Amino acid sequence: MWDTLEEIAQAMVAEGKGILAADESSGTIKKRFDSINAESTETSRRDYREMLFRTRSAMTDHISGVILFDETLRQNAADGTPLVELISSAGAVPGIKVDTGAKPLAGASGEMVTEGLDGLRDRFAEYHDLGARFAKWRAVINIGSGIPSRYCLNANAHALARYAALAQEAGIVPIVEPEVIMDGDHDIDRCFEVTEAALNALYDALSEQRILLEGTVLKPNMVVSGTLNPVQAGVEEVAEKTVRCLRRCVPSAVPGIAFLSGGQSDEDATAHLSAMNAMFDLPWSLTFSYGRALQASPLKAWGGNSANVASAQSAFAHRARMNGLAASGAWTRDLEQAA
């Protein structure tokens, strides 16, 4: 269906569509299930994700790709159909999370570096055989007193670039995700400063590793106020400063930018994305790669009960449609209230 890295990347950032992040680790999905008093087992995790992937209106009209966890990429639906086939048959690109998580960075208190490069070439070969056509690697950049350091930014950028090179070698599009965490009392301008530094370090490293930018997708944070700051920037300020930061740092060769929600509420993540697309004419597609901002509503509606599948799918379809509209700059709060 997709023959080249460039074609895969373009499909991932198709107009009016975005990426579903369903790559929660076993520990993370357990916490999500705990919140609805549902037991996390291999079967219950499969059933929950199968429910999402079988929401046809969402998957065909508004979802361009799905990031999977290793377990999910290998699972079959209840009727024996591989889950990866459910995704691709809807016209979405199957993807895989390949990092093994952020660990404390040696000699740098409060800072993290993402691991997972060992054996990655062989894992990519297997993942390609299993049907994955893109991958994701997340770096974690904390804001605090005296951090992030240049050491931290460069260590994470180098790891992202090495991962990207191995992905492209295997015929897999790398999503590069340098996430500046929104936790803290910093203001939006401090977030701008750190995001700019992280993106500049990333694209320097990608250049050194000879990455084909046309075969990549960037997954950044939005430029927002820290969660503990008493002054929260409004929608238009977030949109303007996020776009200004991206224009300074991201080459026009990159086909698209798929934002993470990063702990924002469902509606805030949607509103910010829609404002950017409505307010600016940009060289790249701006879309979404949301986990919680797509899944919180259907997870709550499902509640671990098979009797609630229809209402959970309706909730997922709604959130996918709202974000699809945001990816075209056409979302309004009236649409949320009407629903």
- How far apart are the C-alpha atoms of 151 and 205, rounded to whole Å? 13
Q: Which of 333, 296, 338, 319 is nearest to 62 (CA)?
A: 319
- Checking DSSP bridges between strand 134-141 and strand 173-180, what pairing results, if any? parallel
Annotated active-site residue in 24, 50, 111, 177:
177
Q: Tokens 């075969």 correspond to what residue?
A: 215
Residue 134, phi then psi, degrees to nearest 5: -145, 165
Give the dihedral of Cα atoms 67, 164, 141, 95; nearest 10 deg: 0
The three-state secondary structure class of 76 is strand
Q: Are 260 and 290 in contact (CB under 8 A)?
A: yes
Count of beta carbons in the 10 Å neighbourhood of residue 47 = 17
Q: Which tokens in the block code for residue 56?
A: 């046809």
Q: List C-alpha distances in Å: 139 to 22, 101, 167.
A: 17, 8, 16
**Annotated catalytic residue, options 17, 97, 136, 219:** 219
Question: Which amino acid, residue 246?
Answer: L
97 is catalytic: no
Closest C-alpha to 288, from 67, 6, 24: 67
Q: What is the 3-state secondary structure (H, E, C) of 190-229?
A: HHHHHHHHHHHHHHHHHHHCCCCHHHCEECCCCCCCCCCC
Determine the Cα–Cα distance for residues 275 and 322; give it in Å rounded to an integer.
Answer: 13
From the number of C-beta atoms within 10 Å of its C-beta (0-12, 13-18, 19+), residue 242 rates as buried
Spatial distance between the Cα atoms of 168 and 217, rounded to a whole number of angstroms: 12
Is residue 30 annotated as a catalytic residue, yes or no? no
Tell me 106's DSSP state: T
Catalytic residues: 177, 219
